[in-house]
Amino acid sequence: MCGRFAITLPTDAMAQLFAARPANDLPEVPNYNVCPTNRIHVVKSDGADRQLVAMRWGFLPHWYKTPSDGPLLINARAETIAQKPAFRKACRERRCIIPVTGFYEWTKDAEGTRFPWYIQGAETLAMAGVWRRWDRGEDAVEACAIVTTGANRAMSAIHHRMPVILPADDWALWLGEAGHGAATLMKAAPDEALTFHRVDRKVNSNRASGPELIEPIEAD
From the list 96, 105, 142, 144, the catalytic residue is: 105
Give the residue from 123, 125, 103, 112 showing the smallest Cα distance to 199.
103
CA distance 93 to 168: 20
**CA neighbours within 13 Å on the CB side: how many for 217?**
14
CA 160 vs CA 31, 148, 149, 172, 188: distances in Å: 26, 10, 9, 28, 11
Specify whether 105 is catalytic.
Answer: yes
Q: How many residues in total does the chain contain? A: 220
From the list 2, 91, 96, 144, the catalytic residue is: 2
Specify whether 2 is catalytic.
Answer: yes
CA distance 37 to 73: 10
Geometric angle at alpha carbon 5, from 4 and 8, rounded to 5°: 155
Q: Per-residue b/e over 178-208, b at no fewer than 16 CB within 10 Å?
A: eeeebeebbebbeeeebebebbbeebeeeee
- Residue 160 DSSP SS3: coil
Enumerate the active-site residues. Answer: 2, 105
